[in-house]
Amino acid sequence: MPALDRIALGAPGVYTLPPEPIRRLTGVRLDACAFVGVAPRGPCRVPRVDASPEHSNDWRMCDPARGRQRSRAVRVESFDAYRQLYGGFDGPGLLPYAVASFFEQGGREAWVVRIVHEHGNSTLNAGGVAQGALNGVLSGVLSGVLGSAALQGRNEGAWGNSLRTTLSWRTRALLATPLPPSNAALQLSGGQRLPPGTLLRLRLADGSHVLRFVLDVQSTGDPLQPRRWQRALLETLTPSPIVGAEVVEAELEVSDGAGATERHTALGLHVDHPRWLASVLCLDSQLLWPDFSWAGDRLLPADVLRLNLRHASNPFTGGEDRYALINHEDFFETDWDPLADEPASGLQAVAGIEAITQIVLPDLYQPQPLPPQADVSDPSFAGPAFAPCVALPAAPAAPPTPPNSSALPGLALDPLDVADLAQIVTLLQRVQSFVETTRDHIALLDVPPGLKPQQVLAFRSHFDSAWCALYHPWLVVVRSDDGRDALVNLPPSAAAAGIVAATELVFGVPHGPANRVVQGAVKTLVQVTSAEHAQLHPLGVNVYVQEPQGVRLSAARTLSLDPSWRQLSVRRLVLMLRRTLLQQMQWAVFEPHTPALRRELVHMIGALLRRLYRLGAFTGASEAEAFFVTCDDSLNPPFRVDNGELVAHIGIAPAEPLEFIVLHFSRSGDGTLTLEAA
C-alpha cells in the first residue's frame, strides 16, 4: 500500500511518512547440532507448562502429579556452559566428549538432550534425586510440621548428594505508623511500598517481638491528591500495640560442590509474595526444586530474635546414578505423533526446534565401556630440609572398581557380533526414519568400530537417504581435563558436526564441509588404506584419513543413492532455502492476492537466489541457467485465487563441491616437464 495511505491526515500541517517495510530474505543458519546421549546430570523429567487451573501458579511446577517431559533439548554455546549443566567426563557416556569435540572444531551452538530411563507411569520416575532440607525454618499452617523445609536436587543423579544450601535472613527498617486499632494495620510513609505476603518483624509495646505477614496493601486518601498513603493490613492481630516494624527477607545460597553456585536474594516467605521462595526456585534455579509439601504454604524463621544466623542445610542424600536402567528404547518415543502439539522425549525432543539442523547420537549404543577413572597423581615425600633416605611404605591396594562404573549395560552392543550388528542397523534406521519424517534435520551417523572393509560395505548398503551422512572410522582422543588416564574412542560424527558448523560460519552453506584437520584427535582408530578409501567414497562413506598434519575429513556426502543428492552441501543448501522461505515469508499471509504481490515475491526470492549465485552456490553460465522463479497466471488461475492460494515455482541448479582434480604430467624429448589440468 502507498505510504500516503498509511497515515491519517487531519489539520493542515507537515506530516512524516512512515518508513517502508524492509522485506529481504537473508537466509538462516544451519550450524546448530543436537547431541542426544547420557550425562551424569542435567535437565530431564521437566514439568510440562500448561494453562490448566491446577497448574496456574509457578510453584506448582514441583507438583509430583504434574506431567513431565522425560527429555528436553537445551541450548548451550560453549563447553563450559555444557559442563555447568550436564557435568564433565564423570559419567559412562560419550556425550561430553562429543560436545567438547564439536566446540573444538569451531561449532558455536549445540543443543543437548539427556537420556534417562522411562519407567512408564511408575513413581520410579521421581527416584534417584537427592533430598535435603532448609534448617532454621518451620513449615506453614497447611502441613503443621515443625522442623525444616525439604528440598530436592533439580534432576536425578549422584551429583545431587554434593548439594549444600545456606539460608540467611535480611532485615531492613520500615517507616510506618500504626493505624487504629494499633495492632491490625500500618500506614506506610515516605512513599514505601510493600507487596502482599511480605513478612514483618514487629516490636510491640510490651517489649516482645512477633512475626506477621502482610495480608493486603490498600491506598488511602483522596484519589485526586498527588500523594496517597499505603495501608498494610496484617494477616493476624498482634497481642499488644505495634511500636516498630522491620521487613524480613530470605537469602538462599546453593552450591553443587563442583564449582556451580547460585544466590537468590530478596525472597519472600509467603505464597502470595511476588518472590516467593518456592516460585523463585522453580523458575530460576538450575540446582534445586522445592518440595511440594510446603511450596504452596509459607515459611517462618524458627527464632524471631536471632535473624542474623546463617542456617546450613543437612547433607543431601538419596541421589543415585541409574545408568544401568537405560536401554535403547529410551532414545525414542515409540508413540510419537509428528502432528501432536505435546513435546516429545528422546530423539523426538528435537522435533519442532527450528534452530537444530544436524543430529548426533554418541551413546545410541556402546561398543565398549569407557576406561575407568584413575588418580594419576604421585605423592611427594620431599620436605623443607635434607634427611636420610627412608624406605617407602608399600603402596596401598587400589580400591575395587564398582561394577559397571564406566559401562552402560543396557546399551552395550558388540559390532563384531552378527546379532548385535543387526540391532545397530535397526537403531540407525529408526534415526533415518525420524529425519525423513521431519525432513528438517540431518542425521550424522557412524560406522560401528571394528568392522572390516567388506563389513563396512555391507553395513552401508542398509541405508539410502539424503537426510543422513555416514562417517568412518572412529577417532582416538585424549583430554587433559578428563580423569581417565587412557585414550578414548570417539564417534566420528561428533567432530564432523563441528566441521559442518565451522565451515558454514566461515564460508557459507554451499561450501562442502570437509577437507579440514580434526582438532584434538590423536589418530584414527583404524588406518583406512587408499584402496579401501577408493571403495568407500563413491558409496557415500565419509572417511577420515591419517596424514602427517593430523586426521583429516576427506568428504562430505550423504547416503542417498540419487546422484543429485549425493553432496551434503546440496542437501543443506536446499534445506536452507526451504527454512528461509517458511520463516521469512509469513508476512505474505493474508495479503491481497494482486499482481503487485506476485511481483514482490518474485523480486524477493530472485534477489536471494541471485546473491547465492554470485557466491558460487549455483552452477550455470548465467542467472537464467542457474535458477528461476515463476509466479504467474498459469500457476494461479482464478479458482486458486478464489481459494486464497498463491503458488510460485522455484528452480535451482546447485553447484557441487570440487572433489577431483586431474593433472596431466609429461616429459618431452628435450627434457622439458609439463604440468597441466586435464
The rounded percent of the chain whose pLDDT value lies above 90 is: 62
Whether pLDDT at 21 is above 60: no
Which domains can be identified in the chain, with CATH numbers? 26-124+323-370+405-584 (3.40.50.11780), 131-312 (no CATH), 585-678 (no CATH)
Residue in the structure block whose three cell numbers are 526446534: 353
pLDDT tens profile 275-331: 999 999 999 999 999 999 899 888 888 888 888 778 787 789 999 999 999 999 999
Whether pLDDT at 552 is above 90: yes
Whether pLDDT at 146 is above 60: no
Residue-by-residue DSSP string for 35-58: EEE--SS---SEEPP---GGG-SG
What is the reported pLDDT for 404? 46
Residue in the structure block whose three cell numbers are 583429516: 552
What is the reported pLDDT for 40? 95
For 675, the 3-state DSSP assignment is: strand
Report in angstroms the alpha-carbon separations of 341 from 48, 56, 67, 336, 344.
Answer: 12, 19, 14, 11, 9
Whether pLDDT at 423 is above 70: yes
Least confident range of 70-74, 385-389, 617-621, 669-673 = 669-673
Q: Rounded to an integer, what distance in angstroms lies between the CA atom of residue 522 and that of residue 82?
A: 23
Report, as an integer, the average pLDDT of 571-590.
92
| Local structure of residue 159 (DSSP, 8 states) | G
Least confident range of 75-89, 341-355, 385-399, 492-506 = 385-399
Confidence of residue 646 (pLDDT cuts 50, 70, 90): very high
Phi, psi of 54 (to 5 degrees): -75, -10
- Taking each continuous run of H as one helix and of E as one strand, the counts in the chain are 12, 32
What is the reported pLDDT for 314? 78
Angle, to 10 degrees, between the axis of helix 568-584 and the axis of helix 595-614? 150
Query: Greater confidence, 193 or 291?
Result: 291
What mean pLDDT value characterizes the chain? 87
Whether pLDDT at 154 is above 60: yes
What is the reported pLDDT for 27? 81
Whether pLDDT at 470 is above 80: yes
Hey, what's the cell of 476? Answer: 582416538
What is the reported pLDDT for 51? 56
- Other CB atoms within 10 A of residue 445 CB: 27
Query: Pick from 261, 187, 280, 283: which is nearest to 229 by CA?
Result: 187
Report, as an integer, the average pLDDT of 258-282.
94
Q: How many residues does the chain have?
A: 678
What is the reported pLDDT for 437? 95
What is the reported pLDDT for 311? 77
Hey, what's the cell of 370? Answer: 569407557
For 154, the 3-state DSSP assignment is: coil
Query: In this structure, which amino acid lies at residue 52?
Result: S
| Local structure of residue 636 (DSSP, 8 states) | S
pLDDT tens profile 337-396: 988 878 899 999 999 899 999 999 999 999 999 988 765 555 565 666 776 766 666 666
Hey, what's the cell of 197? Answer: 505476603
Q: Rounded to an integer, what distance in angstroms lies between the CA atom of residue 414 and that of residue 113?
A: 24
Report, as an integer, the average pLDDT of 645-660.
85
Q: Rounded to an integer, what distance in angstroms lies between the CA atom of residue 342 and that of residue 49?
A: 10
Max mean pLDDT range (30-39, 114-123, 146-155, 482-491):
30-39
The beta-strand segments (E) located in 115-163 are 131-134, 137-139, 149-153
Report, as an integer, the average pLDDT of 563-581.
94
The continuous run of DSSP H or E covering 544 comes out as: strand 541-547
Confidence of residue 671 (pLDDT cuts 50, 70, 90): low
Verify cis geometry, omega within 30 degrees of 0, for the bond prior to 181: yes
Confidence of residue 670 (pLDDT cuts 50, 70, 90): low
Query: Pick from 90, 379, 394, 49: which is nearest to 256 by CA?
Result: 90
Query: Pick from 25, 325, 264: which is nearest to 134 by CA?
Result: 264
What is the reported pLDDT for 119? 86
Confidence of residue 610 (pLDDT cuts 50, 70, 90): very high
What is the reported pLDDT for 403? 47
Long-range contacts of 335-342 (CB under 8 A, 24+ apart): 338/437, 338/438, 342/48
pTM: 0.87
What is the reported pLDDT for 132? 86
The rounded percent of the chain whose pLDDT value lies above 70 is: 86
Query: Pick from 35, 34, 89, 44: which is nearest to 322 by CA?
Result: 44
Question: For strand 261-267 and strand 242-255, is the pairing parallel, antiparallel, or unpaired?
Answer: antiparallel
What is the reported pLDDT for 397? 62
Whether pLDDT at 401 is above 50: no
What is the reported pLDDT for 649? 95
Q: Rounded to an integer, what distance in angstroms lies between the CA atom of residue 676 and that of residue 678?
A: 6
Burial of 670: CB neighbours in 10 Å, binned 0-12, 13-18, 19+: exposed
What is the reported pLDDT for 674? 59
Report, as an integer, the average pLDDT of 550-568.
95
What is the reported pLDDT for 3? 52
What is the reported pLDDT for 99? 98
311 contacts 132 by C-beta, under 8 angstroms: no
| Local structure of residue 259 (DSSP, 8 states) | S
Hey, what's the cell of 180? Answer: 487504629
